[in-house]
Chains A and B, each alone.
Chain A
Amino acid sequence: MKNPIIQLKSLTKCYGSQKAVNNLNLDIQKGEIFGLLGPNGAGKTTTILMMLGLTDPTSGSAFVCGYNATNNPISVKRKVGYMPDSLGFYDDMTALENLMYIARLNGLTEKEIKIRTAEVMEIVGLSSVMNKKTSAFSRGMKQRLGLADVLIKEPEVIILDEPTLGIDPNGVREFLTLIKRLSKEQELTVLLSSHHLHHVQQVCDRVGIFVKGELLAQGNIDTLSGHLFGKAGHVVSISLVNDIPQPWTLEQELQKLETIKQITINKNTVEFECEQVITPELVRFFVEKDYGILGVYQKDYGLDDIYQKYFEDIN
């Protein structure tokens, strides 16, 4: 078993009587892209702040890169790049000056700074505007500059808090592709918080669903859907040219297939619920019996459904 790079042990944070984060246990391995998914006010930001030592946990501990974030925040911050959800820059300075300031604070020498800033600006695609004041920057550009800020210190872990907030769909796609590429190229561990399931689905290896301060489930998307909908099984619906007569003589024959648990007939569509994927067999069966098939639809469970399911349970 490898040592996890981020390790949260029964982390709890209370604001007065309200529990923002409740007994959170989480391990994230090196090189992973982990998505922390949850609605607003679920305690995602609070968890991230505790990982960086920017707020103290009420109980429990957070270890990042082997350091305790509460007692030794400086060592953690040396290895971790954090991009907050509401990014702010010094408006009277240019993008390059903003970036150089952060680089200097990280103890880079002037020579390194020159090379690194040019490199990083190139990576995030801001080279052409780096001498403009940040007050003129759009939200998407600020987000990129924020990423440059994170990359300048050559971190081992990147923590992004709501990185896709307020950028247009095109920008989101580019941004996420960039993160994915960087993670692969430089073996970065990425922790990404969001309430946007689709964004998370696009890039994350593993997802944790976080609601009201509690981590309800974690794992990759297949595991999560299997976990949730395992009992329901796979659903295949086949629509035919003609309506199916009632009672249907072939139903008996299909029932003999063991994996099929339930057959629902609705005019010209038949829905099968089965334990294994038998879509090809079903299609062959219909073709052999001379039925005209209009469409076959195999239902997959996406994050949307997973999310929905969890919220149903909560509300």
Chain B
Amino acid sequence: MMSQSLSKTVKKTRVNSPFSVMVHKEMADHIRSWRFIILIGLIILTFIASMYVSLGNIRSAIGNVNDPDHTFLYLKLLTTTDNSTPPFHVFLSFLAPLLGISLGFDAVNSEQNKGTLTRLMAQPVYRDNLLLAKFVSALMLVAALFLVLVFLMIGGGLVLTGVRMEPQELLRIIGFIVISITYVGFWLSLSIVLSIKFRQAATSALTAIGIWLFFTVFYQIVVNLAIRSLLPDPAFLTQDQILGYNELILNVLRIAPNQLYTDASTTMLMPSVRSLGPMTMEQMAGAIPAPLPFKESLMIVWPQVSGMIGATVTCFALSYYLFMRREIRS
């Protein structure tokens, strides 16, 4: 055929790798979907509500000289509240799982049910590219959303107050955003695993929400129950033993990803937090209540962050394991 030979002679110029083609397509799909619009609306509403409350209380928070963090205006903007609504980072610890779950719960099973998965897998693309594209595209959108919100806040704050921003504050806020994105990434990869495991999107969504509810609501109750029945009466223990047990309880609670996130984001946004565990009187003695430098705060949250990354990677490895050798059939 004439036309065929014609098209064959067209010089090969720049060719996108299948992976970037997939990421493009997934991102376009997300942006056009109602689901994502609703989620953006939800996050922006939360942001506006918490900004409104913190702006109303910022004067008293900055004026409070007893608070070692009172000089950090922009961190205060993110954390101040008059207790009518929770501050932004606490709100986010509820919304981030929702964001991750809703972007990932039907990643693979909807393609399978529509019959597009077979067609896709019949193309010369690696299977893991599909999983990675689903993960990366959703995470990029979330990252963009968070960064835009926070930079809007910073810019707005600069224009409204005219207060200079400490470099440390910027680093802390960016650290907080990175931690939040990692947290969303964990829930995203968990929901992708569930979307591979379950054929029905509703089942995988429900399971993901179940896991989220378990960790936010029931996990603490279960741990407390177990501790009360297993641990000896504190009245008969020395202080060292009590401290040891407290540490143990905290470590058990830290299995929950939301606990890790709350710990990490609090330390990032409140420079005066010096430790996430119990401290003895000796450790406290002589300590001046002053904000920690950024590097020290980072050192405190590093175990939390690596825990979250570890959990994400585990979920992702599991999704590879489930998907790579699976029979693709609709």
Contact = CB atoms under 8 A, between A and B. Distances in A.
Given A74-B126, A107-B15, A115-B10, A149 B3 contact: no
Nearest to A116: B7
B10 A109 contact: yes
A109 B119 contact: no
Contacts of B29: 90, 92
Interface string A110-149: 0110011001000000000000000000000000001001
A117 to B, nearest CB: 10
A88 B1 contact: no
B115 A77 contact: no
The size class of the interface chain B forms with chain A is 35 or more
A106 B116 contact: no
A297 interface: no
B227 interface: no
Contact of B115 (A49, A80, A84): A84
Nearest to B329: A49
Contacts of B329: 45, 49, 54-55
B4 A84 contact: no
A77 B328 contact: no
Interface stretch (B17-25, B52-60, B173-181, B250-258): B17-25
A231 B4 CA distance: 49
Interface string B196-240: 000000000000000000000000000000000000000000000
Contacts of A153: 123
Given A55-B328, A149-B119, A185-B1, A107 B18 contact: yes
A49 to B, nearest CB: 7
Contacts of B325: 56
B18 A105 contact: yes
Interface string B1-18: 101101110101111101
A88 B114 contact: yes
Contacts of B4: 119, 154, 186
Interface string A88-109: 1111100000000110111111
A269 to B, nearest CB: 52
A78 interface: yes
A74 B4 CA distance: 24
Interface residues of A, number: 40
A82 interface: yes
Nearest to A52: B122
Nearest to A88: B115
Interface string B117-131: 111111111100000
Nearest to B18: A105
Contacts of B114: 88-91
A86 interface: yes
A109 B329 CA distance: 30
A87 interface: yes
Nearest to B126: A74
A54 B118 contact: yes
Contacts of A107: 15-16, 18, 124
Nearest to B115: A88
Contacts of B116: 88-90
Given A101-B21, A101-B25, A82 B10 contact: no
Contact of B328 (A54, A75, A91, A109): A54
A86 B330 contact: yes
Contacts of A56: 325
Nearest to A80: B122
Nearest to A146: B119
B327 A55 contact: yes
Interface of B: 1, 3-4, 6-8, 10, 12-16, 18, 21-22, 25, 29, 32, 114-126, 325, 327-330
Interface of A: 45, 49, 52, 54-56, 74-75, 77-78, 80-82, 84, 86-92, 101-102, 104-109, 111-112, 115-116, 119, 146, 149, 153-154, 185-186
14 contacts: A49-B329, A84-B115, A84-B118, A84-B122, A86-B115, A86-B118, A87-B115, A88-B114, A88-B119, A90-B116, A105-B125, A108-B15, A115-B10, A149-B119
When A and B form their complex, which 9 residue pairs have the shortest distance between CB atoms, in order from nearest? A88-B115, A55-B327, A82-B122, A88-B114, A77-B124, A84-B118, A78-B124, A104-B21, A88-B116
